[in-house]
Structure 1
Amino acid sequence: MMRRRFTTACCSALTLALALGTTACGGDPVTAAGGGGKDLAGKTLTVAGVWSGAEQRNFQKVLDAFTEKTGAQTRFVSTGDNVSTVVGSKIEGGNAPDVVMVPQVGVLQQFAARKWLRPLSEKVGKSVDAGYAPVWKEYGSVDGTLYGLYFKASNKSTVWYSPEALDQAGVKPPRTYEEMLAAGRTVADSGLPAFSVAGEDGWTLTDWFENVYLSQAGPEKYDRLARHEIPWTDPSVVRALTTLSALFSDDRLLAGGRKGALATDFPGSVEKVFGPKPGAGMVYEGDFVAGIAATEFGRKIGEDATFFPFPPVGTGAAPVVSGGDAAVVLKDGRNQEAAMAFLEFLATPQAAAVWAAEGGFISPNKGLDLGAYGDTTLRATAKSLVEAGDSVRFDMSDQAPAAFGGTKGAGEWKILQDFLRDPSDPAATAARLEAAAAKAYRTANQG
């Protein structure tokens, strides 16, 4: 499949830099493990994370760059969505990975509370202070101690679409949420379902909710709900669920209807829009949609696959929701030196440039040259996220205890899947969400 890259000259410079330790694409020399050389030869670093498919292959290029620089061999272990459960079992079994790429703030906090994590080195801390907006250090810290380095971020307020599908229906990218639903109905009337919804993966449904809620309720309420300072039975939650029900209850708008949506995972939702047999005109998710559309289906980002910002709901402002994967070092890992050296490497713009070249990736590191991104569309999403600074709101479910916001078949993921199956009673769904949240937060606070 075609892979979107930045210019050949810059790509060649990056390859040479990784091999020889010289300058990559205008940045500083690639350094790790105390300044270069094969000083970790003979070590094997085990890294665990949720990624699979194209994301795993692209991250492997980052691991390969670390190996080329330091001599350390690497092994990636895919955890699936249940990171907390898988990592906990490995620790108990005496087979802990050295580094975990944690996709939820709540899981990072849980790991820290269980004394599983090693504080990051002074070198990592200085890199974060110099290259990241303060919000990213805040999300990576627990009680003032830095445990997590956010290597991969995402702009989760993007709706991706096929320009051909919208052109054939005679509609333009909408400016409001209400216009988006109206445009979807017009697309459906033209013979193509409007939205491909990945209901099999409950986390995508939390993202739908969060964008609607942030726009309708505003950032202050969003922060309070994220901290569970207001209950999920609050009228603002019921209102957001009611707004979502207008989409979820209209089978014309959903590829395969609600039943089809519940049987579609995230990669499958992208395939329905950008695959060889299009089955929908639009798919909502983060900027990482582009990586799959380009890598798996040969789409040219910005031309036959592009996006519009998630539109504002009613009189609210357009939402900007982000997510991210933080690298943490486990105390029980067998290769502490290699693990910390790897995080020191991940904190450099050059490490981020490796994945940025492949697409489906945004770095929160301000030091990464925007020219490293392989196309103007991703460059724009990266620029908007970095320039948003501390005004970005982190994915709400990722801030919750894993039992509520990050576990397959349980908590918010399961309840919103049930809501997609039957969206007729938003108030009852809100009550179920509050019961699950209260239990999860109570358990988390008890240790």
Structure 2
Amino acid sequence: MVRLNRKQEKKYTVSIICLICMLLTVNMKWLFEGILDKSIIEATILLFLLCILLFFNRFKIKKIGLIWILYIINIIFSLIIHPSSFGIWGRGAITVFTVAFIFFVDEPIYRYKTVLKLFIFFGIVNSALVFCHYFFESFFDNTYYSLLNETARGSYSLYSKYGYFFGLLYNPHEPAFMICISIAGIVLWDVMNKTRILCYTPVLVLFVSLLMTGKRGIFVIGALSLIIMILVLYGSRKQWLQSLLLILFVVIGLAVFIQFVLTYTEIEFFTRFRTLILGLFSGDGVDSGRFQIYDMAFNEWKSNPILGIGWRHFNALTVEKYHMKQYHEVNCDYLQWLCETGIVGFLCNIITIGVMQFRAMFVCRNLIKRIDNTVEKWTLLLTGYIQIFVLVYAFIEIPFEDIIIFAIYIISCIVQNSLYRRRSQFNEERG
């Protein structure tokens, strides 16, 4: 481990504290945006943290993160050329400030463990809140609901109607995503340290709360991403076979659970699960009708194929132009980029995340066998998991537009950049 002087230690400590504060800020979305309806508070806090990082970095930026300038320019340019509301400008500021952290943080890998442990902690907290929502539903439906603003209430009512549980975050995909990260973090640590018995109970509890959020797409993507990262860790033919057996075991276990819930209808505890399962099988859910929305987005793109209709402008059109009862996003980040920012913006974003995915794949493939430290190896795997998860999830949802998921993704990019920049160091240590 490389020795650091006092000045370096201080700078690295400040960077980690700022990342933690950034993560805490975006996870208070339910308060700042849902109750207070003041997203400007988020933007102000993020800007303040960036100023601190800028000062401690002596107004220098990390070259490893410069590719993200494309992403930022795309947002700002779209906001300038298309008349946008104050709210959209606010969302743009929050997104840009979140991305900007990647320009100022680049640390030795072992120092990120505190931030990644916070990922696990947030997943556990959200799991507990999902259970609280289940057992104290009347409190959430009356007291908490009354505190929310009109937009948050609309989201809350929409998902509650289908029997989803989500705690304080009124969009269930956010707690579901963080619960998935907790499960992945615990399982990956268990696989490396061979402490399987210790992880069974917390993973089972987290898994149940994940099912209660109703986000079946997140469950499937999370499971596949986890299997991929385990295979990255080992990669032998034996491990591939074991992974296939694990998938088979999970499928059979899920089938048995569903059959049990549908058979023993007298058990009141499973009433909500039964309603959810029947709804999923019948196709009745929040996500129904997404192909109609895809068609709208494609038509809007054709009206302005080069520069798009404007960043975050599609949502309003679903009601104002297409007369839908509720506001909708495209539910596919890649199509939303194309629709709202045109070919130019789409290419800017694809190039950015493509470079990041290349680095993540390079790091996972070439460094996993060269890193001896368990914590550093776990850090590599968990951030790689997040990268795969978000990129796949973007085909069916808009994680890049959700500030909580996006902030976690940006932190994973920061870690992967640090690993990529130090790849020669691991080569030397191995040699």
TM-score (ref. length: structure 1): 0.25
Q: Which has the higher strand share?
A: 1
TM-score (ref. length: structure 2): 0.26
Q: Which has the higher helix share?
A: 2
